[in-house]
Amino acid sequence: MRKFGAVIAAAALLPILAVGPAAADPDLPSFLDTTDPAERTYIVVLDESADPETVAERHGDDPLGVYEHALTGYAADMTAADAAELLQDSDVAYVQEDQVVEAFDQDIPNGIARVFAPDNPNLQIDGQENYVPDVAIAVLDTGVDGNHPDLNVVDSVNCTSGTCVPNSATDGNGHGTHVAGSAAAIDNDLGVVGVAPGADVWNVQVLTASGSGSLAGIAAGVDYVTANAGQIGVANMSLGCQGCTDQALTQAITNSVAEGVAYAVAAGNSARDAANFFPANHPDVLTVSSMADSDGAPGGIGGPLTCRADQDDTLSTFSNFGATIDIAAPGSCITSTMPGGGYGTMSGTSMAAPHAAGGLALLAVGDAKPTDRAGVLAIYDTLTSAGNYDWNDTSGDGIHEPLLDVGDPDVFPADGETTPPQGPVASLAHSCDDTTLTCSFDGSGSAGEVTDWTWEFGDGNGGTGTTTEHTYAAEGDYTVTLTVTDDEGRTDSAQAEISVGAPDHVAPTADFSGYCYTFFYFCEVDASGSSAGDAPITSYRWDFGDGGTASGSSAWHFYSGPGTYTITLTVTDETGATGSLSKTVRL
């Protein structure tokens, strides 16, 4: 409200300063109807050197708010004629009428629709917090924005140093916040909604703002999750590395699962067999590949996606594949939460995994939360069994993984009044010598009080025991079945497709790219352009031409000084076949 008394007083005390320097009459903006006596709120933007309170005082304005950082000015109620008068003041840059801004209504992302979460009446996805699952999801990532209005972050630690310390929940990258939203964004008529809407989110930061971290930091994060296994039902790990192994982290995940924490892990984005990616290849995690969906519905008629060239209802072109994969979930062009209260679109198996984490969370609510490895493996089995095959797995690996589907109200969510399914859970591993056609089989990963292991080798022969060997009479593909029986007579079976024999082998092809900084004598190289033959690449070795070497699909190296150097990459597949490529750099 304009204060006329204040104008008079100012004029009496400071007659020379009562009116600012005169300016030429500007053309009035079209929104200013000076014949309208109604007062409205206007935003008055000043030159940066002006003082908002001084200008407001000399015009008799009572500011509703003063701006001194992002811009200089104030807001006040006044008539259009008063606003027109302000434009005569040379300290005033412009005036605009205030407008009403509303929050965008909640949108159901295609990924959430494609896993049939809105079709499940138990989840009551309707823009209201009618159903909130009693479960906590730990997000081991770059951090999570704890102030996001669409997320319920209840605990936060930073483990990047190798020691987990409490912190305010922030995310300098965006990756972790995006992951959290797909799993657990609140059903609140705002922004987006997650598969397990409104579930508690534990921010366990193991990656820096650059999106990278150490295995030691990740192990610390898993240790923190395990220490709180009584409260955390599910952990999401949208991270990993190719060709790396870590005994400590492997053991940490194994022990965490034994305490009843289910793990959803991204398969990786290299369009390769996930068997060589860690921790996606850990036997106790649920490994998730990415599929593309453009319309939130089955049928494959949605056309190409908007943010990348993927086709509707197919495997995302970047997604890893193979027998390591347990389930597929939407991961291309996924809209979810972003730091600062916003929303954005990302693609990757990193985006697919939290959809599956949300599905696991719906099976770990309340009293249904697993308390041991058998319980965790049981909800993995329930989730994959509930999946559908109404999509086109274009990987070419001959294995059609189920697509996440939480639409069955008889399965999701678990009622919270029963314990996880009881009985043994079969799990098998194998290795074969293609020269002798002899394969070794191991069923020690099976869970429960197992008393009997029965093997069918797929050629009419069988065996018994926790571990066993079998020599095949001929090369070929065989389906191996392990059936385990526990001390109460309950059974479970698992199968694996194996290939025995070594036909003419196609070696891998090495290829790499990179760039060098001449000033620092520093080069970075990336072997992601290498391709496997008919067996997965298992190792990458770099020779930088000055005696320096490195391993891994990407590497960097400092040279001692200027010169011409030959960088050689050698890739080796699981059969021992190799491929090499050399390139020359001048520093």
pLDDT of res. 11 = 25
Q: Which residues are catalytic?
A: 141, 175, 350
pLDDT of res. 429 = 75
For residue 377, the Cα-to-chain-centroid distance in whole angstroms is: 22
CATH (domain of 18) = 3.30.70.80
Distance of alpha carbon 251 from alpha carbon 292, whole angstroms: 33
Angle CA 162–165–166, to nearest 5: 150
One domain for residues 458 and 558: no
Asked whether the beta carbons of 203 and 140 are under 8 A apart, the reply is: no
Per residue in 514-534, pLDDT (tens digit) is: 767 655 566 778 888 899 888
Nearest-CA neighbor of 110 among 392, 381, 307? 307
Domain assignment present for residue 450? The answer is yes
Distance of alpha carbon 474 from alpha carbon 469, whole angstroms: 15
Distance of alpha carbon 77 from alpha carbon 99, whole angstroms: 13
Asked whether the beta carbons of 286 and 265 are under 8 A apart, the reply is: yes
Cβ neighbors of 518 (< 8 A, separation 6 or more) are 562, 587
Up-side HSE of residue 545: CA atoms within 13 Å toward CB?
A: 18
One domain for residues 277 and 199: yes
Distance of alpha carbon 290 from alpha carbon 334, whole angstroms: 11
pLDDT of res. 311 = 93
One domain for residues 555 and 451: no
One domain for residues 517 and 495: no
Domain end point (choices 468, 500, 532): 500
Domain assignment present for residue 421? The answer is no
Domain end point (choices 471, 500, 529): 500
Asked whether the beta carbons of 553 and 277 are under 8 A apart, the reply is: no
Domain assignment present for residue 70? The answer is yes
Q: What φ, ψ does residue 341 adopt, rounded to 5°?
A: 85, 10
Domain assignment present for residue 395? The answer is no
Nearest-CA neighbor of 484 among 476, 495, 493? 493
Nearest-CA neighbor of 495 among 571, 418, 544, 443? 443
Domain assignment present for residue 286? The answer is yes
CATH (domain of 476) = 2.60.40.10
One domain for residues 66 and 120: no
pLDDT-flagged residues of the chain (< 50): 1-26, 102-103, 416-421
Give the type of residue at 386. A
One domain for residues 249 and 354: yes
One domain for residues 355 and 486: no
One domain for residues 175 and 316: yes
Asked whether the beta carbons of 192 and 108 are under 8 A apart, the reply is: yes
Asked whether the beta carbons of 453 and 466 are under 8 A apart, the reply is: yes
Distance of alpha carbon 349 from alpha carbon 354, whole angstroms: 9
One domain for residues 467 and 564: no
Domain span holding position 433: 429-500
pLDDT of res. 147 = 94
Angle CA 32–35–41, to nearest 5: 45
pLDDT of res. 502 = 58
Domain assignment present for residue 166? The answer is yes
Q: Which two tokens stand for residue 267?
A: 């398969």
One domain for residues 137 and 84: no
One domain for residues 145 and 269: yes
Total structural domains within the chain: 4
CATH (domain of 226) = 3.40.50.200
| Long-range residue pairs from 384-389, CB within 8 A, at least 24 positions apart, any chain | 384/286, 384/326, 384/327, 386/411, 386/412, 387/327, 387/328, 388/298
One domain for residues 91 and 189: no
pLDDT of res. 8 = 22
What's this model's pTM, rounded to 2 decimal places?
A: 0.60
Domain end point (choices 38, 67, 97): 97
